[in-house]
Chain A
Amino acid sequence: MKKILILFTAITAFTFLPALQQNAAAEDGAEKTEYRAETGININNGLYFGGGWDPGANGGSVNLIFSREKDRLLLGAGMELGMGYTGFNLLFPLEAGLIILNGENLQISGGAALMPGIIMSRPLPYFLFAAEVHAQLLWFVSDSLSLEFSAGPRFTLSPGYSSNLAELEMIDLVTGIAAGFRL
């Protein structure tokens, strides 16, 4: 667990430091605020499960995220419906990111997300929590449409599931593709 936290912190720092430096060097200026709705699919490539290295397909998800962009800062929130070996699950991502490169048709950003949610079970759901860092590439196809590609590690755990049934702690490399619509 300690190793996971160290890895997670290191990846977060690696993702954000360049953007922070670039942001500090950038000239101050009033940039307009943009809002986007993004919908896409994620593929979870399992890396770690329970007590060790356990690579292989680990399900996937569809999501809908509303994001706000201002002054190189990205904020997002939405919903993600996933399918894995615990059944279906529902996560509510809260995302923050920084734009590293903002070209004419291309944008590269790094971000992190905290995702509280549930494993959909009955009669009662299990609490599920995931945390993720990711790099994201946006290609602006037109003024209103963008294609987005993302990748990054995600740590998922469910304390209730772990105590009742079996340890549920896993790390996936999540790769995603989405379409974004400027609102």
Chain B
Amino acid sequence: MLFSIVLLITGCSYRALYTADDISPDVTITETRNKIEIRPNQPTVTDTGLLFYPGGLVDNHVYNEILSDFVGEAGIAALITKMPGNLAVFDIDAGLSVIEDYPEITTWIIAGHSLGGAMAAAVVYDNPDVFEGLILMDSRPASGNSLADWDGRVLSLYSSIEKIEDVDSTLSLLPPETWLDETETDYPAETSNYTVVHQIDGGSHSYFGTYGPQDGDYEPTITREAFHAEVIEYMIEFFNENGWR
């Protein structure tokens, strides 16, 4: 019963704030019990997919808006893995059963926000050959899941300068990093694994989705729309640079 009371106090998830009008008309969204599928109406590539792990205690629909914009622009399908209790820690491998339904997709990039990013990194750690890329949004691998030697590519995005306080310990768990500033898109020349890091100016943690403000959020100085545009720009560049699109 004590557990129930604690959950009552702490277990509320953030609601998604978008409306149907905010969703890109260039995509089709279908939903099943355990996943949300966002498909481009005009796919650019059909053998590449993005698997997404939501952050902790946020409704799994809060990423529909930003991922619809990404899918519409990139022409690549995205799958949001629904998590029990909206906590990815309860079913870390949930995404692996989701991607089994898409045998036509042979190149998978996994992404995650906050707790979802840490769990996505854990999936990569346990299944290094399944994914070719990892996108972290205000997130990091757990200390026991170092991906420093993983033969894949990582894009690490930070919502604001306040979120990169502990970045050195985070980057020690990832392949060698290159920082990209606001306008720079010159990727490392290495053909081996690498991490590209980009910090957005003036965003907030909840801006990666459409919800909030979240407890502990910094006061944003840019709009959510501008933030989403910058995230999508860097995500698409990440796909382009690696030949996934």
Task: Please tell me if A3 contacts chain B, counting CB pairs below 8 Å.
Answer: no
Report whether B15 and A123 are in contact in the complex, using a CB–CB cutoff of 8 Å. yes
Selected contact of B82 from candidates A85, A122, A124, A170, CB within 8 Å:
A85
Q: Render B1-16 as a binary contact track against A, CB cut-off 8 A, 1 for contact.
A: 1011001100111111
A29 to B204 Cα, complex, angstroms: 69
Which parts of B6-40 form the interface with A (CB within 8 Å)? Answer: 7-8, 11-16, 31-34, 36
Query: Residue among B57, B59, B61 with the most chain A CB within 10 A?
Result: B59
**Structural contact, A88 and B60, CB atoms closer than 8 A:** no
Question: Which residues in B have their C-beta under 8 angstroms from that of A85?
Answer: 33-34, 60, 82-84
B128 within 8 A of A: no
Please name the residue on chain B nearest to A85 by beta carbon.
B82
Docked-complex contact B11 and A166, CB < 8 angstroms: no
Check A135 for interface membership: any CB of B closer than 8 A: no
Q: How far is the CB of B101 from chain A (nearest CB, A)?
A: 12
A56 at the interface (CB under 8 A from B): yes
Smallest Cβ distance from A24 to chain B, in angstroms?
Answer: 40
A66 to chain B, nearest CB (A): 13
Q: Tell me if B7 and A54 are in contact (CB < 8 A).
A: no
Say whether A122 contacts B61, CB under 8 Å: no
Report whether B12 and A121 are in contact in the complex, using a CB–CB cutoff of 8 Å.
Answer: yes
* Contact present for A124 and B32 (CB under 8 Å): no
Contact B7 A46 (CB under 8 A): no
Q: How far, in angstroms, from A165 to B23 measured CA to CA in the complex?
A: 11
A122–B61 CA distance with the chains assembled, in angstroms: 14
* Known contacts A49-B33, A88-B12, A88-B13: A166-B61 contact under CB 8 Å: yes
Beta-carbon contacts under 8 Å, A47-92 to B:
49-50, 54, 56, 58-59, 62, 64, 79, 81, 83-88, 90
Residues of chain B within 8 A (CB-CB) of A120 are: 7-8, 11-13
The size bracket of the interface on A is 20 to 34
- Of A79, A87, A125, most B-chain CB atoms within 10 Å: A87
Given contacts A87-B85, A87-B86, are A81 and B7 in contact (CB under 8 A)?
yes
Assembled-state Cα–Cα distance A121/B83 (Å): 15
Given A85-B83, A87-B11, A121-B15, the answer on whether A165 and B33 have CB atoms closer than 8 Å is: no
Establish whether residues A62 and B57, one from each chain, have CB atoms under 8 Å apart when the complex forms.
no
Contact of A88 among B11, B16, B33 (CB under 8 A): B11
Which residues from B are CB-within-8-Å of A123? 15
Counting CB contacts under 8 A, is A144 at the interface? no
B residues in contact with A126, CB < 8 Å = 15
**Are A83's CB and B32's CB within 8 A?**
no
Which residues of the partner chain B approach A165 to less than 8 Å between Cβ atoms? 16, 59, 61
Contact A88–B82 (Cβ < 8 Å): no
Which chain A residues lie closer than 8 Å to B90 at the CB level? 83
Cβ of A142 under 8 Å from chain B: no
In the complex, the answer to whether B59 meets A87 with C-beta atoms within 8 Å is yes
Interface set of A (CB-CB < 8 Å, partner B)? 46, 49-50, 54, 56, 58-59, 62, 64, 79, 81, 83-88, 90, 120-126, 164-167, 170
